[in-house]
């Protein structure tokens, strides 16, 4: 198991109610997992807890067998993360940024050379990689964030709303990359409210609403049963809202 989340609870202040509570997620090698939910459902909070960006009150998070609370450094070495906000070091060039990330994750020179060449093919940044990130467009920033997060070939790849701002060609490459990366024995976990993307690439989907996991869906079985994910998602989240 590459990700194991058990009873995760998080609130932003002592008096506030839990933003997410009782989250249980399991992720295995070779899988692409989607976290599906409306805006404000708790997807980003959950991902920020998993990546160690937000402290959490209760629960346990294990990544590649390392407990995030007790062995954070090893847990963090195992994953790559792309956030929904472009929080990049904008004064660096793309090349400097990717190399900086490679230094942080202790990637050998030969590995970084191979991987940068491969990512250059996928993300097609060309010579722009040598320009300052501050001069990049929205989509280019997203691409360089991907490159930085993947430079250490993480066993777990975590993304928060990854498709926002990507052109159709790159979005397609990214979707293929997710599948390819998972087939190499890795795990891809991403949050989204884009049902088409989730339906196309995910093996399993967790539907989250009001900070709780409502349902776990095996996408292949679900679609083979002739049901429509969009309608199901809307009906289940509306039902919870009424309750």
Partner 1 sequence: MRDFLILFKREVKMQFPRPQKGRTDWFGSLVTLLITLSIAVVFIILVSVIAGNYVTVRIDKVYAPEQRGLELLNLCYIAIIFASTLACLEKMRKTLTEKKDKELLLRLPVKTQTIFMSKLATVVLWIYTFALLLILPVNVIFFIAVKPSGIFWLYTFLTWLLMPMTAFLFATALLIPYIKLIEFLSDKYALILLLFVGGIVGAFLLYSGFLDILKSLVETGAIKFLFNEAFVTTLQSLLVWTYPANSFASIVMGRDLAPSLVIVSVVAVVAVVVMYIVSKRLFYSTLYKNENKKVKGKKKTKYVRTPVLISLVKKEFITVFREPKHLFSYFAIALAMPVMVYCCFMLFDSLISNALGVKADFALAVLVVLVFSILTNTFCASNVSRDGLTALKSKVFPVKASVMLFAKVLFCGIVASIAVIASVVTLGVGASLDAPSVIVCLVCGLAFSFAQVFVATRMDLNHTKPSATPVEIEKMQNRTIAKVVFFGLLIALFMGIIVLIISIITVGELEAYAYIIPLVGSIAYLIIALTYYVRNVEKSFYKLVA
Going by C-beta distance under 8 Å and a sequence separation of 6 or more, which residues neighbour residue 235? none
Residues 64 and 2 sit within 8 Å (Cβ to Cβ): yes
Give the nearer residue to partner 1 in terms of CB position, either 4 or 74.
74
Residues 125 and 115 sit within 8 Å (Cβ to Cβ): no
Q: How far is the CB of 28 from partner 1 (least distance, A)?
A: 22
Going by C-beta distance under 8 Å and a sequence separation of 6 or more, which residues neighbour residue 140? 94, 125, 128
Give the nearer residue to partner 1 in terms of CB position, either 187 or 229.
187
Closest residue by Cα to residue 93 from 147, 130, 148:
130
Give the nearer residue to partner 1 in terms of CB position, either 39 or 87.
87
Give the nearer residue to partner 1 in terms of CB position, either 67 or 74.
74
Q: How far is the CB of 214 from partner 1 (least distance, A)?
A: 26
Tokens 């292949």 identify what position?
A: 220
Q: Which two tokens stand for residue 189?
A: 């976990």
Distance CA 206, CA 37 (A): 9
Sheet holding 66-67, edge to edge: 20-27, 3-10, 58-63, 66-67
Q: How far is the CB of 76 from partner 1 (least distance, A)?
A: 4
Q: Could you tell me the end-to-end alpha-carbon distance of the chain, in angstroms, rounded to an integer?
A: 34
Q: How far is the CB of 176 from partner 1 (least distance, A)?
A: 25
- Residue ranges in contact with partner 1 by CB under 8 A: 12, 51-55, 72-74, 76-77, 81, 83, 85, 87-89, 91-93, 95-96, 99-100, 102-110, 112-113, 116, 127, 130-132, 135-137
Give the nearer residue to partner 1 in terms of CB position, either 12 or 216.
12
Q: How far is the CB of 87 from partner 1 (least distance, A)?
A: 4
Give the nearer residue to partner 1 in terms of CB position, either 110 or 224.
110
Distance CA 75, CA 97 (A): 22
Which of the 8 DSSP states describes residue 20? Answer: E
Q: How far is the CB of 101 from partner 1 (least distance, A)?
A: 9
């Amino acid at each position: 198991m590459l990700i194991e989340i058990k009873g995760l609870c998080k609130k932003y202040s002592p008096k506030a109610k839990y933003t997410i509570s009782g989250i249980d997620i399991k992720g295995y090698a070779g899988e692409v997992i989607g976290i599906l939910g409306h805006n404000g459902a708790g997807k980003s909070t959950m991902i920020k807890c998993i990546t160690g960006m937000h402290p959490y009150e209760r629960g346990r998070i294990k990544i590649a067998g390392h407990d995030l609370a007790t062995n954070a450094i090893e847990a963090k070495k195992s994953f790559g993360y792309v956030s929904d906000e472009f929080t990049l070091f904008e004064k660096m060039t793309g090349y400097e940024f990717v190399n900086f990330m490679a230094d942080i994750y202790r990637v050998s020179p030969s590995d970084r050379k191979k991987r940068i060449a491969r990512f250059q093919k996928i993300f097609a940044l060309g010579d722009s990689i040598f320009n300052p990130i501050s001069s990049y467009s929205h989509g280019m920033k997203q691409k360089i964030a991907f490159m930085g997060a993947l430079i250490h070939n993480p066993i777990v790849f975590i993304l928060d709303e990854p498709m926002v701002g990507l052109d159709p060609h790159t979005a397609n490459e990214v979707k293929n990359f997710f599948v390819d990366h998972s087939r190499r024995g890795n795990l891809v976990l991403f949050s989204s409210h884009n049902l088409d993307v989730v339906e196309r690439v995910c093996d399993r989907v967790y539907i989250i609403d009001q900070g709780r996991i409502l349902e776990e869906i095996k996408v292949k079985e679900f679609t083979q049963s002739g049901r429509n994910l969009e309608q199901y998602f809307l009906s289940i989240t509306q039902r919870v809202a009424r309750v």
